[in-house]
Structure 1
Amino acid sequence: MGSTMLPEEHLIYPHRRRGMDQSLYGWRPVAERPKGRWPGDRGLAVMIVMPVEWHMLDPSGKPFKHPGAMQTPWPDLRHYTTRDYGPRIGAYRLLRALKEAGLKATVPVNGIALERYRPLVEAALEDGHEIAAHGWSTDAIHHSGLSEDEERALVGRTREAFERAGLTPRTWMSPARQQSFRTLPLIAEAGFDVCLDWEQDEVPVAMTTDAGVVQAVPLMNELDDRTLLIDRRQTEDAWADQVLEAAAFLKAAAGADDRRVLGFTLTSYVAGQPFRMSAVRRMLAGLADGGAWSATASEIARCLDSGDTESKESKS
């Protein structure tokens, strides 16, 4: 066999330096993080995220299938009807549980779902939750195989759909939380300055793009209900215990002079099932009684002033 030579560009790392191989934000150990507190002198902010997604029967699956996409050959009615259960039943059940506990949520909505599920959007708004943009659809996944014009069109189409609906969200979450190298500057260009795709810290991180700064408010995939209950097949009580344990740990880690964010997801067709609601209610009650600040993504971002964020730090 002959030897295979790597192209020279595979050996060149333009961002090779202390920290990570990117120029969006600087690397630092936790001990060097600027300290601060949340409103009411609280150390923990709890950000609950409840996505509103529209799943189609025949997704293209490019460049990969969304984690909630259809699984079996056409027509996959079993998974399709389960996904439809979410915005039809499960989401309203979760909204009631959040209201009973006195907690807020961030509700990312696919642009294509705004009119389809308008009563659900109105119900979330009426209860004081934040409506965020969740890209165009579960089958419009952002990736570096798209041209800049193609991806800009996806972001623009999403923004236009919200404008037609009379909504101007500042928070963005990509479908499947997948990005290309261009996604951040493109969403900043479209007026989104808060993003839920990144989770590199336990506090928001200011990420600098050519189109402006985007605050990455951390959302933990490791506590995602679909990941733990469906993919890892944990019990509902184990999942609820993990969320409450994370809240207690982060609150203790913040101490008396620092702060943390606990962000996790409630998926309507997963957490909104009737046999899971006792665990959901126990979890929400524990969070409400734990002295944390129940906040939306944009509220957390608004709370950060220039002296508390990373935007003035060196990106060395």
Structure 2
Amino acid sequence: MSNRPRFPRQWDWPGKQKIAFTVGIPFEAFEKQSQVNFVASRGQLDRFSLSYGDYGWKAGIWRLMNILDEFELKSSISANGLAAERNPDIVRMFAQDGHEVLGHGWANDVYAKDATPEEERQEIKRCTDLLTKVTGGIRPVGWTSPGSSGSEMTNELLAEQGYIWVGDDASDDLPFVQQTKAGPFVTLPRTNIFTNDIAAWIFPANPTSVFLENFKETFDQLYREGEEGCPKWLSITLHSHMAGRPTMSNTIRRCLDYVRQHDGVYYARSRDVAEWALRRDARG
């Protein structure tokens, strides 16, 4: 009996690494409410909730960037257009430091699923134009919709405007390519909700040690599969206004240090992963 893993998809990374690892940092702004809301009904203006979101640009993003500097890692910053409009110098800094800046809708509490196709097309263009301007001419090629709530037209609209990847999916451990009217287009699934800090802050009331344990368990399984000849990909998601708070800092360091203890890791930005997926697809 063969012990070969049964995964149907063959995959490899540029240097034949065992696992790819990316860091995603949502940099968000809100019109009425952030993810934390104690009293107001959904859709109502809540100033305390908005102040929770403001922590990201005032304090959280700086703490996260310091940690990334410690580990010499480059991340993918998913920036709402409104966040970039209010904080252009911060977004410009990201790009100049070599981080990927990707589109994340205009405001994080406004969802594409509620828009018409033309409204969505115009929002993508508005965000693209602004992010290109504030980064000094670096056009974004990636997009994740607020709440990952893209519409059935999102991928086509993004490809039409020159994007190469989207993150509105949770169906796989690896990127996959679809054909659009504008050509091949990559989906980068959210590989595991347990490595997204929103699981620690918004859902269960767990200590940060649970986040660390979930991260290690996820990494260990995917790394093992890579050692067995089936490389995978893991991303950690750190919201600037959530993971950027001091409570999570040492836990994030422990997660990153754990990855560094392993060889054969492909450290990449999401853009790098998407571009590699396109090259693999083109070679057949």
TM band (smaller chain) = 0.7 to 0.9
Q: Report whether the alignment pairs 1:230 with 2:206.
A: no
Is the 2:160–2:182 Cα contact (8 Å) retained in structure 1?
Answer: yes
Which amino acid counterpart does residue 149 of structure 2 have in structure 1?
Q
Runs of 4+ in 1 over 6 A off after TM superposition: none
Q: Which residue of 2 aligns with 1:283?
A: 255
Structure with higher Rg: it is 1
TM-score (norm 1): 0.79
Q: Which residue of 1 aligns with 2:18?
A: 43
Is the 1:218–1:261 Cα contact (8 Å) retained in structure 2?
Answer: no
Q: Which residue of 1 aligns with 2:272?
A: 299
What 5-or-longer segments of structure 2 have no aligned partner? none
Q: Which residue of 2 aligns with 1:20?
A: none
* Structure 2 CA distance for aligned equivalents of residues 190 and 298 of structure 1: 16
* Structure 2 CA distance for aligned equivalents of residues 265 and 305 of structure 1: 23
1:9-63 per-residue CA deviation (whole Å, 9 max, x = no partner) reads xxxxxxxxxxxxxxxxxxxx96321232x2332111111110111122x36xxxx
Which amino acid counterpart does residue 80 of structure 1 have in structure 2?
L
Gap change, CA 1:30 and 1:206, over 3 Å in 2: farther
* Structure 2 CA distance for aligned equivalents of residues 118 and 154 of structure 1: 18
1:177 pairs, out of 144, 148, 151, with 148
C-alpha displacement of 1:256: 5.1
Is the 1:229–1:239 Cα contact (8 Å) retained in structure 2?
Answer: no
Is the 2:29–2:82 Cα contact (8 Å) retained in structure 1?
Answer: yes
Q: Report whether the alignment pairs 1:112 with 2:87.
A: no
Q: Report whether the alignment pairs 1:270 with 2:242.
A: yes
C-alpha displacement of 1:112: 2.0
Show the 5 A alignment for 1:19-98. Answer: 31-36=7-12, 38-56=13-31, 58=32, 68=35, 70-73=37-40, 76-98=46-68
Deviates more, 1:69-78 or 1:251-260: 69-78
C-alpha displacement of 1:149: 1.5
Q: Which residue of 2 aligns with 1:62?
A: none
3-state SS of 1:54 partner: coil
Is the 2:36–2:52 Cα contact (8 Å) retained in structure 1?
Answer: no
Which amino acid counterpart does residue 99 of structure 1 have in structure 2?
D
1:126-153 per-residue CA deviation (whole Å, 9 max, x = no partner) reads 432111111121133111x532212211
Q: Which of the pair is proportionally richer in helix?
A: 2
CA RMSD across the alignment: 2.3
1:101 pairs, out of 67, 71, 80, with 71
C-alpha displacement of 1:70: 4.7
Q: Which residue of 1 aligns with 2:104?
A: 134
3-state SS of 1:231 partner: coil
C-alpha displacement of 1:311: 9.5
* Structure 2 CA distance for aligned equivalents of residues 84 and 142 of structure 1: 23
C-alpha displacement of 1:187: 0.7
3-state SS of 1:244 partner: helix
Q: Which residue of 2 aligns with 1:214?
A: 185
* Structure 2 CA distance for aligned equivalents of residues 245 and 157 of structure 1: 40
The count of residues paired between Structure 1 and Structure 2 equals 273
Which amino acid counterpart does residue 125 of structure 1 have in structure 2?
A
* Structure 1 CA distance for aligned equivalents of residues 146 and 89 of structure 2: 22
Which amino acid counterpart does residue 232 of structure 1 have in structure 2?
P
Which amino acid counterpart does residue 130 of structure 1 have in structure 2?
E
2:220 pairs, out of 222, 232, 248, with 248
